[in-house]
Structure 1
C-alpha cells in the first residue's frame, strides 16, 4: 500500500524529522537536535514556526520551543530506561506471557508474579512516555490490536480493501468530503498518496462495522494513527481496537449517543473534581460540551499539539477511556484561577483553546491529570454512564420525534 519506508531508528528514540515512513523527503536534522525556527516579528510578540516530530508545522513563542526541547530531552532520557529493560528482560518483555500446552518449565505462581511486576513497571513507564520508535509495537501490544488481528486471516485487510473498491455509500461520500479538510497543511496528509491511504483505512473500517460506518472526527484520529504506525494495516487495527474495545460503545454511531453520555458524565465529574469551576461556569450558563465534545470525538488530536496528544494516547491505549476524563478535567484544573475570573462565554472558550494549543509539556498535563485530579476507577465511570444513559436516550428520542413531526408538517 505504501511506498518505500524511509524511517530510521535512532538510539535516542526519535525518528528523523520530516521522514514520515511512506514518502522519501529531503532529510533535515534529526528531531533529537534542538528545534530550529523561522521567526516573524509581530506587534509586541515574537512568534516562531517549526516542524514537530510528526511533520506538523507549529506556531508558538520562544517559551513553547524551550518547553518542547526540554520535553524531548526527558523523553530521550526515558528512552534509555526502555532500552535497558529490553536488554535485561528481552525485546518483547511487555507482551503477555503465554503458558505452553504442557506448562513445562514455568509455574503458574511465578508467571502471575512476573506478569504483575511487568504490568506495574509498564504502567509507570508508559505514563512517562513511550519512545517514538517503540510506539507502534507497544501500542499494538498493550491495546489488544495485535491479538484482535491474530483472530482473522493474514489477508483480511487486503481482502477488505479490494472488496470495497468502487463501492459508494453515504459513509464513503462523507469520507471523500472530509479528506481534504483533514490536517490540510501536513506535508504528507495533504498529498494524493496520503489522502488515498487515509481513505482506505476509513472506508475499510466503515465496511467492517456498518453500525459505526463513518463519523466526522474519525478522520483526524485515523490520520494521526497513520503518522505513528509504520503500515496502513497497523493503523487500521489500531482504529478497530480503539472503537471496539477501548472507547465506550456508540460514540461514533449516527446519533452519537455514546458521546452524549460521555459529556454528561464529564459534567458530573467536573462538579465533583473541580466544584469551583463547575459552579462558576453554571452561573455563566456555559455548557462544557461546547469544547469537550471535540476533545472526546477527536481524542484531543485537533486541540493539543501532536506530540502531547500521542503521550495522552500512550496512556489511553494502556489504561482505557477513563484517561480522556482525566485529561479533560486537567485542562480545566490547570486554568482554574483564570476561568474563575471570566464573565463571558467567549473568554472561557479563548482560554481553553489557547491553553490546549500551547500545551507542549505532556508531563505537566499528565501530572495534573493523575495526581491533582485523583483516582477515578473504570467501574465508577461505568456506573455514571449507566446512570446517564436513560436521560440521553429519552432526549434523543424526543429530538427524533420533533424532526419527524417537522417532516410531516412540510408534506
Structure 2
C-alpha cells in the first residue's frame, strides 16, 4: 500500500473544467517519498513506459523487456519536457493520490471516481489499477513462480489462443515472443489456482491489457482480484450463468430506454448475445482500439461492470437511427465494422454519453432476482420433464415385458 507522506490537512478539489490541489502536492521529482513497493514497481515500468511513449495513442510500440529493469524513476525534467502544463498537473495530482491512497480513497471517493473517468495517466496506470482493486499486497504473488513449474490441463487450449490475442500488437504478435510467453504464464497460473474456471477464451484479452501496463507477477495478482471481486469469475464459469444474467439485464434496459429499437431487434430475431456478449466478457477490448478500450477499462477498475451497461446502452442510443434501417446481417456488420471506429478521435464523447444513461442499481438488483426466479422455474420444469420421460420409459418397459410374458405363455 502506498505510504502517506503529505500533510493531512491537504485536500483535493475537482471542478467540471479543471482539477486543482489546495496545498502543494507531491512533485514528480520526489521519488524518495514513494513507498519501497511503489518505487520498485515504477522502476520496473520505466523501460516499458518509455517505449509506449513513442506512440502512446496506439499503444503499439512495446517491443522490449518488461522485467528486471533496475533503472530509476523518470525524472521530472525529462517528463516535463514532453508534457503540457495540464498533463504535468495531472502527473502531480496522481502522484499525490498514490501516496495518500488510503486517506484519499476513504474521504474523496467521489472525486477519485471523477478523475478516473477522465483517464488515468499511463505512467500511473499500473499502480492505480492495483490500488483500485487492492491487489498490491496479495500473498498469492509469492506462489506465482511455483505455479509456473506445475503443469496445467489447460495448457494446450491456452497455447492455441495466444496467437489470437492482440495479433497486431508488437508485444504479442511474434510467435514465442516475450509477450506471448508472459501471457501464457499468467493464464496457466490462474488455471491452476481456479480449477473450476480453468481457462476461458476471452480472458486472455484482459490479461494481455494488464501485461501492457505491468510485469507478469503484478498482472497475475490483478487478474485474480478481477475474477474474485468484479464478477468476472462468474462470467467465465463453464455454465456462464452470469453472462446470461447480464444479457437479461441489458435487454431489459433496451426495452425500457429504447423501446422502438427493442421491437426492431425482436422482429429481426437479433438476440442481445449476438452483439453484446463480447462487451461483457472482454470489457470492450475486442470492440474498440486500445486507447478507447483502455479508458473504459480504467472506469471498470473503479466502478465495475456498471460501465459496460452504460457504454453499451450509449452505443445503441447513438446508433439507433442507423440500426432501425438494417436487417440482421446489416446490423451485425454495423456492430463489427462501423461502431469500433466511431470514436477514433477519442473516447470523451462516448464516456460523456455513457454517464447520461439512467442506471438504477436497485432496479438491476430487482432484475437479478427476476432472472434467478425464471431460471429456477426453468430448471424445475426440466426436472419434471425428465421425471415424466423416465416414468414413460418405465411404463413402456413394463408393457414390453408383459408382452414378452404373454408370448411366452402362448408358446408353452
Check whether TM > 0.5.
yes
* Secondary structure of the structure 1 residue equivalent to 2:123: coil
Structure 1: how far apart are the matches of 2:382 and 2:291? 39
* Secondary structure of the structure 1 residue equivalent to 2:288: coil
Of 102, 117, 137, 1:96 maps to: 102
Q: Spell out, residue by residue over 1:291-335, the C-alpha distance to the aligned partner (whole angstroms, 9 max, x if none).
A: 111111122111111111110111111011111111111111111
* Secondary structure of the structure 1 residue equivalent to 2:163: helix
Aligned pairs, number: 321
Of 187, 196, 209, 1:224 maps to: 209
Aligned 8 A contact 1:211 1:253 in 2: yes
| 2:170 paired with 1:187 | yes
Structure 2: how far apart are the matches of 1:241 and 1:154? 12
Structure 2: how far apart are the matches of 1:243 and 1:250? 8
Q: Indicate the larger mover: 77-86 or 332-341.
A: 77-86
| 2:113 paired with 1:123 | yes
Any stretches of 5+ residues in structure 1 without a counterpart? 10-14, 21-28, 36-51, 57-74, 98-113, 406-411
Aligned 8 A contact 2:140 2:221 in 1: no
For 1:132-171, what aligned pairs fall within 5 Å after superposition? 132-146=122-136, 149=138, 152=139, 155-162=142-149, 164=150, 167-169=151-153, 171=154
Aligned 8 A contact 1:301 1:309 in 2: yes
Structure 2: how far apart are the matches of 1:6 and 1:248? 26
TM-score normalised by structure 1 residue count? 0.70
Q: Which residue of 2 is the match for residue 357 of structure 1? A: 340
Of 191, 194, 205, 1:206 maps to: 191
Aligned 8 A contact 1:226 1:232 in 2: yes
Structure 2: how far apart are the matches of 1:146 and 1:353? 36
Structure 2: how far apart are the matches of 1:362 and 1:398? 46
Q: 1:146 to 1:398 in 2, by over 3 A?
A: farther
Q: 1:394 to 1:146 in 2, by over 3 A?
A: farther
Of 307, 310, 330, 1:347 maps to: 330
Structure 2: how far apart are the matches of 1:86 and 1:133? 10
Any stretches of 5+ residues in structure 2 without a counterpart? 1-42, 63-82, 390-412
Q: Which residue of 2 is the match for residue 294 of structure 1? A: 278
For 1:30-69, what aligned pairs fall within 5 Å after superposition? 30-31=54-55, 52-55=58-61
* Secondary structure of the structure 2 residue equivalent to 1:303: coil
Q: 1:369 to 1:85 in 2, by over 3 A?
A: same
Q: 1:282 to 1:180 in 2, by over 3 A?
A: same
Q: 1:385 to 1:136 in 2, by over 3 A?
A: same
TM-score normalised by structure 2 residue count? 0.70
Structure 2: how far apart are the matches of 1:367 and 1:295? 18
Q: CA deviation at 1:115?
A: 5.0
Of 304, 324, 329, 2:308 maps to: 324
Q: 1:5 to 1:91 in 2, by over 3 A?
A: closer
Structure 1: how far apart are the matches of 2:194 and 2:180? 21
Larger radius of gyration: 2
Q: Spell out, residue by residue over 1:317-358, the C-alpha distance to the aligned partner (whole angstroms, 9 max, x if none).
A: 10111111111111111111111222x101111222233320
* Secondary structure of the structure 2 residue equivalent to 1:287: coil
Structure 2: how far apart are the matches of 1:366 and 1:77? 24
| 2:372 paired with 1:385 | no
* Secondary structure of the structure 2 residue equivalent to 1:254: coil
